[in-house]
Amino acid sequence: MKKGILHTYEKFLPLTEKTPLLSLCEGDTPLIPLGNIGRELGVELYGKFEGLNPTGSFKDRGMVLAVAKAAEEGAKAVVCASTGNTSASAAAYGALAGIPCFTLLPAGKVASGKLAQAVIHGARVVAVRGNFDEALEMARTASREKGRLAIVNSVNPYRLFGQRSAAWEICDELGSPPDWLTLPVGNAGNISAYCAGFEFYREIGRISRLPRLIGVQAEGAAPMVKGAPVDNPETVATAIRIGRPVNASLARRAVELTNGQFLSVSDEEILEAQGILASKNGIFAEPASCAPLAGLYRLKKMDKLPAVIRIVMVLTGNGLKDPDAAKGRGEALVEIDGTTEALLEVLGL
Ligand code: F0G
C-alpha cells in the first residue's frame, strides 16, 4: 500500500518524534518504459511520471516535508512564490496540516489548472505584477521580517531533502542508476535534489556510480546554459520561466560532479516533444516536462546521443494542469448531427 514519503523514507529524512507524519500518499510514481520513442532515439528510455503525484507534480515530495517541519516548528502560515506547481502543492499540504498558505504568482503567467488548485485548496493567492524571480525575492523578505511565516520554496532545505526520494525510487526499481537522468531546470532545485539523492545512495552502498545529469532549459529562460542571469525570461513552458535560479550553484556542482550538461531547446521543440510524448506514447505531460525529450531529439540530431544507453526522463508535471497549451493542436474537432449516418460518414472506415 502507498504510504507517502515521510513513512516510506522515515530513516533517510530529518524527522523527529514531533514531526507530524503528513501524507497524501505522494511519491512511488511509475517509471514508464517509453518503448515507442526509445526505439526511435536508439536508447532504452523511461519516463518517471511525477505528474501522478497527488497535486500533479514532483513538488509534493518536498512539500510534504517542508510543511510538516513548518507545523513542527509552530509556523502560523506558509508562503511561497511560484510559477504554479509549488503553489498548488503548498496549498494542498497547508490545507492538510491546517496551516494558512499564501502564494505569490506572476500575474497572467500561471497555467489555469495550477491556479484552480491553489484556489480550491483555500490558499490566499496574490498575483504579482512582475516575474517569478521578483515574487520569490518578496516572499523571502516577508518570511525574514514576519516571525513564524515559513517559506516553502526550494530555499527551504526540507524541500530538496524530500525530493531526493525520486532518485531513490528510480535506483530501487531499476536495481542500478540509469546512465543518464534528464530533467527540466527552472529554479534548479530538483536537479540538485536528484544529485544529493544519488550521492546518498552511493554513500550507503546502494549504488556504485552516479548517473549523468542532463538539465534542460527553454531558450528564452536559460541562465544555467548562458552562465548568467536572464532579466526577462520568456517561454511557453511557464513552469520554468525563471531567470535567476536560487539553486544555481548547487545545480552547477551537480552537473560537474556527474559529468553531465545543461542545454536549451526552443519553445517549438518543447511543444513538438509534448505532442510526440502524447501521440506516440500515450502520456500527457505539461510543456516544461517535455523539455528533456526535446533535448534528447536535439542531441540525436547532432549525433551526440550515444546508442543503447539507459535514460530516465523526469516528467515533472501533469499535462492536465495546462490545457491551454494543448488547445488548437492535433486533429481539429469534428461536430456532427446526432445521427448514426453522420457518424459513419466521419468514421470513413
Ligand atoms: N517542471 C515543472 C513542472 C515545474 O513546475 C518546475 C518548477 C520545474 C520543472 C523546475 O524545477 O525549479 O526545481 O528546477 N516549478 C516551480 C514552481 C518553480 O513554482 O512550481 P526546479
The alpha carbon torsion through 262, 266, 271, 273 (nearest 10 deg) reads: -50
Helices (H), the chain: 5-8, 35-41, 59-72, 85-97, 112-120, 132-145, 157-163, 165-174, 189-203, 223-226, 248-257, 267-281, 291-301, 340-347
Ligand 1: which residue has its CA nearest to atom 1?
316
Alpha carbons 118 and 101: distance in angstroms, whole number: 9
Find the 210 Cα to ligand 1 centroid distance in Å.
23
Alpha carbons 203 and 213: distance in angstroms, whole number: 18
Find the 241 Cα to ligand 1 centroid distance in Å.
9
pTM: 0.97
Residue 127 phi/psi, 5-degree rounding, is -90, 120
Contact 194, 247 (CB under 8 A): no
**pLDDT of res. 9:** 97
Ligand 1: which residue has its CA nearest to atom 4?
239
Alpha carbons 215 and 209: distance in angstroms, whole number: 19
Find the 129 Cα to ligand 1 centroid distance in Å.
20
**pLDDT of res. 322:** 96
Closest ligand 1 atom to the C-alpha of 242? 18
Instruction: Quote the cell numbers at residue 26.
Output: 505522494
Contact 103, 80 (CB under 8 A): yes
Find the 20 Cα to ligand 1 centroid distance in Å.
26
**pLDDT of res. 48:** 98
Alpha carbons 79 and 90: distance in angstroms, whole number: 8
Q: Which class for 140: exposed (0-12), middle (13-18), buried (19 or more C-beta within 10 A)?
A: middle
**pLDDT of res. 328:** 84
Instruction: Give residues (CB < 6 A) around ligand 1.
Output: 57, 59, 82-86, 154, 184-190, 239-240, 286, 288-289, 316-317
Find the 81 Cα to ligand 1 centroid distance in Å.
11
Site to probe by mutation for ligand 1, drawn from 55, 78, 85, 290 as the one with most ligand atoms within 8 Å of Cβ, is: 85
pLDDT of the chain, 349 residues: tens digit per residue: 779 999 999 999 999 999 999 999 999 999 999 999 999 999 999 999 999 999 999 999 999 999 999 999 999 999 999 999 999 999 999 999 999 999 999 999 999 999 999 999 999 999 999 999 999 999 999 999 998 999 999 999 999 999 999 999 999 999 999 999 999 999 999 999 999 999 999 999 999 999 999 999 999 999 999 999 999 999 999 999 999 999 999 999 999 999 999 999 999 999 999 999 999 999 999 999 999 999 999 999 999 999 999 999 999 999 999 999 998 888 888 999 999 999 999 999 8
